[in-house]
Each structure stands twice: as C-alpha cells, then as structure tokens.
Chain A
Amino acid sequence: MIAPRTYRFRLVFYIGVLLLFLVAALVLSYHSSNTLVVKEAENNAARLAQQIEGQLRIEARDLSERARMMRDNTGFTGYLYIAISLGTDPGAMAEIYQRQFGWLQIDRTVILSRTGKTLIGAQHADLGTVLIKRGLVKDAEDRQFYHDGQHGLEMVATSPISYRSQSLGVIAVTRTLDAAWMNVVRHMSGGQLFLVKDGRIVLSTIADGRGGQSFMPSSDRVEINGETYLVRRVAIGDDPHLPQLWFALSQQELTVHLQGQRNRLLALVIAGCLGGLIVGFMMLRNFSVPLGRLVKLAEEVGAGRLPEFPGGPSHDEIGYLTNRFSEMVTSLREQQDEVKRVQSQLEHEATTDSLTGFYNRRYLYNIFPKLWSEAMRSKKNLTLIIVDIDHFKMVNDRFGHPVGDRVLLHFARVLRDNCRVSDFIYRLGGEEFLVLTNGDSEGGMHVAEKIRTALECDAYSDGERDIPVTASFGVAQASTADGVDGLSKMLQRADKALYTAKKSGRNRVVLWYQQRESA
C-alpha cells in the first residue's frame, strides 16, 4: 500500500490520471468518430463538387483559349477568308487546320461561315445546327455553353472569326464529358461521378454501373446496386434539359475509412498508454527507489542507528543527495564511536585504580548491590576479604615512593594470580585491598590463606635488593540480614577482623566470626 502524499503516490496518481485521460479520449473519439467522419464526408463531398465545378470552369477557359488561338492566327484566318470569299476546295482548310492545330486537345471543331456554310467539321452537323440555332454564326462575342448531342454532354466554346475587320463566321471547339473525362475526375477527386438524365443514369464511373439505372437522391443520399452514396450536384449550366452531373462518395468506403481511422486511434491510445506506463516505471525506478532508500536511512538515523550506507554513482541530483547523505551518516557514526570510546575510557578511569588496574572503592559501592542480589537470589554466600600490606609505610619511607609503587604492583600480581576468575579485586586506598568472592567464610579463609602464603614466599626483588612483603587479612561473610545496603556493615566486620590480624602480629588471616567467638 502506497501512503498518500508521497512522491511515489503522486507519481502513480498522475500516470493513472494520464492513462484515464487517454482512455477517455479514446472512448470519446471512438463514439464521436462516426458523426465526425460522416459530417466531414458531407463537407468533403460539397467541397469536391465545388472543385469539379472549378475544374470545369478552368477547362472551359482553356477551351475558349484554344478557340481564340485559331481566331488570332492570321495565316489560318487568311485561308478562311479566301475559302469563304472564293469558295475554294475545303481541303486547304483541313490541311492548315491539321498542321497548325492538330496537336490541340479538342474533341470536335466546327467552323461556320456567316451564311452557315461549314468550312471545317462537316461531319459534326449536329453541332453546326446548334450554332446556327443559337445565332452564333453572326455573334460578336466569345461564348461557352454545354450541349447534349449525339456525342454526349459536351462543353462548347465559340469565338467569332474575322479577317481584316471583315466578319467571317464562328469557330466552335468542344470537350466531351465522356467516360474518360469522368474517370480522370474520379481519380482526381477520389469519389464517383454520375451523369443523370430524366432520373436515369446515362454514364457513371462505378465499376458495375449500367446505363438506365434509377437515380433519385433523397436527403443528399442515393442507393445504387445496394450501396448508399452521399451525393452533391455539380452545376454545369442553367439549361434544365441538360443532363445533371453528380459527385458521390460511397458510404461503404466511408465505413472502411472510419474503421481505419478508429484502428489508428486505438493504436495511438495503446501506444500512449504503454508510453505512459514505461515513463511511469522509469520514473519510479529512477526517483522513487533511491528516495525510498533515503527515507529508510533517515528513519534509521532518526531511531539513533547509523547504518552502513554505501554511496553510488552520482550522475543525477538524487544520486548526489544520496552520496552526501551517506557521507553525513558515516561522519556521524565516526563521531559517535569516538564519543563511546572516550566515555568508555572515562568510565574505566572512574572505576579502576590506575596503578594496579583493580576496581576502586567507588565501583565497589556501585556493583555491590547487584552482586549481593544475585548471590541472594541464587542462595549463594558472599565473602569479603580485606587485605592490608604490612609495614608498607616503612617501605615508602625507606626506599621511596617509586619503589613503593613497584612493591604495590608486585603485591597486585600475586593477588591476581591467586584469586579465581570469578573473584572481584578492589583497591580501597593506599595499601588496602578487598577481594569479594562467592562462597562461604570457609572458602574465603582458604583464598586468603592461599594469597598470604604466596605473598610470604614471593618477596619483591628489583635486582638490587629483596624486600619481603606480607599482608594481614580480615574475612567476613555476608548475611541476609545485612540487606542490599549492608556493604558498610560487612566492611566494618572485615575491618575488625583485619584489625585483629594486625594486632595479633600481622601476616595472618582472621575471620570475623572467630574474632567474635574469641571475644
């Protein structure tokens, strides 16, 4: 469980929000794409129909330009003039027309004199008739119109011809809106074209389009061969008798297009989600993990522990921070170790005698309650042995304090060598020592006697002289009646026994109990 307000939580939250947003966008887009695509298709159909109208205008302009090319060619009009005025063989006109304009993209050309005589294009009598009916043979203006004749729907451009200001007749050139033209427009626009007359298809670009099929659009849609088309009319003139040109977009094609659009959208969102997850994982890996280690380390430090925390490569800000934090913890740990060492040294110096290394009186008073309690709990006896070196003052006075200190060290070594590991040895002050041993007074007597005998047999020697060293011993056993604070009473009893030993001639062991009985 990730705790809130943490960086990791926020990161997961943000990525989650991002993914939710992407999924929501997908769902919204998926559901709205149908409406959007259809609406866009409707706009597109209208726009493409306008483009086709524009294309028709351009072609009409080009057609007029070609008619004007013929009109402005003085060599050609000179021939026409001669042909009309002299009534020569039309072969000459055909020759010059083919030579000068044979390369032009024109479907039909008809040239009529003012009297209606055909000079070029005798085989296109239907067009000549239209020109005469429209009164164009004597017209003084360039014209454009559509004509539905034996060649189908044609775009016609006319231009009056004259030679040396003498009107000769009219030139008419045509461009047929045939299947080839419709297929070119179909490839250019991406939709289908239908030429419709009296509600029936005359010509179309669809693969299985047959002439004579019904074409009755409703709400800008029409169904042909079981397929629904979104249609827009292409304006080609005001004449109601002319066929209608329709531009159409197949709804089935739109559906395929829509499905493709949806698939692309889905792929985009999946890629976005995967990208978000990868980015999130990388962010967690690169930020959250090192931050977690830092947090754990801070918790350890806060709890008073200073664990080992190896640093790493510091290529980024978090790595740099981690390394600085590691250095800080290491520094704190070294300082803490130094404090402990100094504290330990101070404690040692406060509880031990600096010359002999034995515990001092303060430590005796500190430790005794614990030792006494343990002895009482385990029902064991505890016996004190006070030891005082005989005539030590005389050694100091005679040989000096340095020799006295070495005698004390010699005494301490003998004392340590003859005590058990479990015994505690204290220097109470000067030449007075105390041994605290587990066991009853009999055991204590035995230990004391063993020390005394060893001391008596092992005089101090510094190579120049031998100094015999003896000591007196006062032994007292602890009693449950003494209580945990009974050290002073026990010391008093042992002191009394020591006093008796001193008084009795020194170099001997006296048990307090014996003294009391003797008293």
Chain B
Amino acid sequence: MSNHRLRCLSCLAGAWFVLGWTVAVAAEQAPAPTITGAGEHFTWVLLDQIRPQLERDHRLQLSLFGKDSMLGHGCNVGIKKARENRAGNETFGFICCPLAKEEVEASGLTVHPIALEPLLIIVNKSNPLQDIPIEKVRAIFRGEIRNWKEVGGEDRPIVIVLRPHCPQRPGHWKTIVPTVEQFRKDRIEVKAEAEVVQGVSDFAEGIGNIGSTWVFEPSQNVKAVTVSGVAPTAENLRSKRYPFYQEQSIVTHGEISAPLANMIREVQSGKDFRSVAKKYELLPLTPALP
C-alpha cells in the first residue's frame, strides 16, 4: 500500500471518529422528555424517593404532584392527570385505591399495580394500649365500642378521626369498615391524611388509620398499634395475617411511550423500588426483575 493511500485512509478514519463523537455528544445533550405525574400522597412518597434513579436510567424528567393530597384531590387527580396524556405532553396518575372494573372500562384507563400498603391503626402516644384485636378495631370504628376501657385502656371516650376518601372505590379503609355509613357518626372527619395524624395527635382519646408510607414528624404524639398481635408488615400482608391495606397503582391512558412504559416496569419491579418498598413495608405486586 502506497503512502498516499495510507494517508487517505487515516484521514477518513479520523473524520469518521470526529463525526461519531459529535453525534454522541449531541445525543447526550438533547433535552430529556418531561413526563408529568399526579395523584395521591402515598404513591407520591414512593415515586419521589426513586425519582433520581428513574430519571437517570430512563433519560426523562419527572414532574410529580401529590404531596399532602387533600380529600378529592388524591386519586381523582391521578385519574384526571392520566386522561390528559397526549403525544409530546405525556402524563400518568397514581392512586391508592383499586379502581372498580366498571370505572376502568368506562374511562379507558390501564392500571399498573405497584404494591399493597399496610394501613396503620394509629392512636395517641399517651394511650397505653399497644395492640387491639381486629374485631375490636372494627367495633371501635363502627361505634360499638366507645370507651378505651372496653379494650383494656383508660376510662376515656374514644375519638375517631377519619378521612373517608374515594368512597365509591373498593379497598383501602373499606378493609376496616365496608361503608362510610357504618362508621361511627360522632367522629372527627378531616380532608387530608395530615389532619388524620394531627387529630390523633391532638386527642389523647384519638384513633385513626394511615398508610405505612406516611412520614411522622417527631412533634406528633402518634403511634401505630398491632392488630390482634400482628404488625403491619409486608410479610404479614403476604401471609394475609394483617387485614388492613390499600393498593398503590399507576394509571395511564392510551398509548404510552417506551421510556414511560420502562419507567413503570422499573417502579413495579426494579431494585430501587424494592429497596423503598422494604423501607415502608410495602408488598410489591409484580415479581422482581432478574
């Protein structure tokens, strides 16, 4: 091979390398697509904790809304946000209540189950009780038991703090009492999960329920009790020994992009999610990725 040809080939190889490097840098610097998600507080806690990994692994930007969701602004917002999905403006929702089959069919939604979340039965820290039998829990919320001394506590009236969200959907608090009407009438009814915790913290006689992903503040005088001696853990949910739970899901509407589909799959079964699920005692509903 002559020197002239060798030089030509070297120049061609150099040019090819420069072109490839430029394309790679351009692809690296291209803005990641923004996907907006909204819904209730508990799934928001989960997604928010693994967001950096999701954004990094799937080259997207997540915009999440759901912290301290209020009554009527939790699951409903998640469904509404999912229905806003459009090409170039991709959205999804997250909910803590399983949707009825009719609602799914009518709205054209696709439900992506994530995990079961134990519902903690919380009482005031001043309450000496550490455990309440399951039937007595239900009797308390129904109003059949109205004084703590009936369950082995002090002689104090029981104050129920309740957030009766998503009454038309199955699951969640309905695992305690099936309908709102069956709950005790003289109760404190609040609009946000934070107010449930605050109410129980304010009343020494208080009792309420909250998802296990709730982050309690040190100033709040609240503690979770075991139910019939069973702690609210993922393992006890799996073995169906712990009776109160809610189901966290992601909902989408219509076609979704590959990055969003991959992200949902990651949320359902990725190792980062597994780590967070373990932290909050969530029971994943999808097998882990190999």
Is the pair A88, B156 in contact by a Cβ cutoff of 8 Å? Answer: yes
Is the pair A88, B205 in contact by a Cβ cutoff of 8 Å? Answer: yes
Is the pair B186, A82 in contact by a Cβ cutoff of 8 Å? Answer: yes
In residues 83-121 of chain A, which contact B (Cβ within 8 Å)?
85-89, 91-92, 95-96
Measured CB to CB, the nearest residue on chain A to B205 is A88
- B157 an interface residue at 8 Å Cβ cutoff? yes
- B114 an interface residue at 8 Å Cβ cutoff? no
> If A86-B157, A88-B159 touch, does A78 touch B189 (CB 8 Å cutoff)?
yes
**CA distance in complex: A87, B205 (Å):** 10
> If A88-B156, A88-B157 touch, does A79 touch B204 (CB 8 Å cutoff)?
no
Is the pair B205, A95 in contact by a Cβ cutoff of 8 Å? Answer: no
**CA distance in complex: A55, B103 (Å):** 59
Is the pair A81, B195 in contact by a Cβ cutoff of 8 Å? Answer: no
Output the least CB separation between B219 and chain A (Å): 11
Is the pair B157, A95 in contact by a Cβ cutoff of 8 Å? Answer: no
In residues 197-227 of chain B, which contact A (Cβ within 8 Å)?
199, 201-206
Is the pair A92, B203 in contact by a Cβ cutoff of 8 Å? Answer: yes
Residues of B within 8 A of A86 (CB): 146, 157-159, 186, 205
Is the pair B204, A91 in contact by a Cβ cutoff of 8 Å? Answer: yes
**CA distance in complex: A87, B146 (Å):** 12
* B203 CB contact (under 8 Å) in A75, A81, A82, A85: A82
* A75 CB contact (under 8 Å) in B157, B190, B205: B190
* A89 CB contact (under 8 Å) in B146, B188, B203: B203
| Count of A interface residues, CB-CB < 8 Å | 14
Residues of B within 8 A of A85 (CB): 186
> If A75-B195, A78-B189 touch, does A95 touch B159 (CB 8 Å cutoff)?
no
| Count of B interface residues, CB-CB < 8 Å | 18
Is the pair A96, B202 in contact by a Cβ cutoff of 8 Å? Answer: yes
Residues of A within 8 A of B156 (CB): 88-89
* A82 CB contact (under 8 Å) in B188, B201, B204: B188
**CA distance in complex: A86, B158 (Å):** 8
**CA distance in complex: A436, B269 (Å):** 164
**CA distance in complex: A81, B159 (Å):** 11
Measured CB to CB, the nearest residue on chain A to B195 is A75
Q: Is the interface of A mostly helix, strand, loop or mixed?
A: helix
* B204 CB contact (under 8 Å) in A75, A78, A92: A92
Measured CB to CB, the nearest residue on chain A to B200 is A92
Output the least CB separation between A120 and chain B (Å): 13
Residues of A within 8 A of B189 (CB): 78
Residues of B within 8 A of A79 (CB): 188, 199, 202
Question: Please, what's the 1-or-0 string for A489-510, where 1 marks a CB less than 8 Å from any CB in chain B?
Answer: 0000000000000000000000
Residues of B within 8 A of A92 (CB): 159, 202-204, 206
Measured CB to CB, the nearest residue on chain A to B201 is A95
**CA distance in complex: A88, B186 (Å):** 13
Residues of A within 8 A of B195 (CB): 75
Output the least CB separation between B180 and chain A (Å): 15
Output the least CB separation between B94 and chain A (Å): 27
Output the least CB separation between A282 and chain B (Å): 80
Measured CB to CB, the nearest residue on chain A to B204 is A89
> If A75-B195, A82-B159, A86-B157 touch, does A95 touch B202 (CB 8 Å cutoff)?
yes
Is the pair A89, B186 in contact by a Cβ cutoff of 8 Å? Answer: no
**CA distance in complex: A87, B202 (Å):** 14
Output the least CB separation between B220 and chain A (Å): 11
**Max chain A C-beta neighbours (<10 A), residue from B190, B201, B202, B205:** B202
Output the least CB separation between A249 and chain B (Å): 52
**CA distance in complex: A79, B158 (Å):** 13
Output the least CB separation between A34 and chain B (Å): 67
Output the least CB separation between B118 and chain A (Å): 27
**CA distance in complex: A86, B202 (Å):** 15
Residues of B within 8 A of A87 (CB): 157
Residues of A within 8 A of B158 (CB): 86
Residues of A within 8 A of B146 (CB): 86
Residues of A within 8 A of B188 (CB): 78-79, 82
In residues 40-72 of chain A, which contact B (Cβ within 8 Å)?
none
**Max chain B C-beta neighbours (<10 A), residue from A78, A85, A86, A95:** A86
**CA distance in complex: A78, B191 (Å):** 12
Output the least CB separation between A246 and chain B (Å): 46
Residues of B within 8 A of A95 (CB): 201-202
Output the least CB separation between A72 and chain B (Å): 15
Question: Please, what's the 1-or-0 string for B138-171, where 1 marks a CB less than 8 Å from any CB in chain A?
Answer: 0000000010000000001111000000000000
Output the least CB separation between B14 and chain A (Å): 71
**CA distance in complex: A87, B159 (Å):** 10
**Max chain A C-beta neighbours (<10 A), residue from B158, B187, B188, B204:** B188
**CA distance in complex: A138, B39 (Å):** 45
Is the pair B190, A89 in contact by a Cβ cutoff of 8 Å? Answer: no
* B205 CB contact (under 8 Å) in A78, A81, A89, A96: A89
Residues of A within 8 A of B199 (CB): 79
**CA distance in complex: A503, B188 (Å):** 178
Measured CB to CB, the nearest residue on chain A to B160 is A82
Output the least CB separation between A328 and chain B (Å): 95
**Max chain B C-beta neighbours (<10 A), residue from A85, A89, A91:** A89
Residues of A within 8 A of B187 (CB): 82
**CA distance in complex: A88, B156 (Å):** 7
Output the least CB separation between A88 and chain B (Å): 5
Residues of A within 8 A of B201 (CB): 95
**CA distance in complex: A92, B198 (Å):** 10
Residues of B within 8 A of A (CB): 146, 156-159, 186-190, 195, 199, 201-206
9 other A-B residue contacts (CB within 8 Å) besides A85-B186, A88-B203: A75-B195, A79-B202, A82-B159, A86-B146, A87-B157, A88-B204, A92-B202, A92-B203, A92-B206
Give 4 closest A-B pairs by Cβ, nearest first.
A86-B157, A92-B202, A92-B203, A95-B202
Interchain residue pairs with CB less than 8 A apart (19)? A78-B188, A78-B190, A79-B188, A79-B199, A79-B202, A82-B186, A82-B188, A82-B203, A85-B186, A86-B146, A86-B159, A86-B186, A86-B205, A88-B203, A89-B203, A89-B204, A91-B204, A92-B206, A95-B202
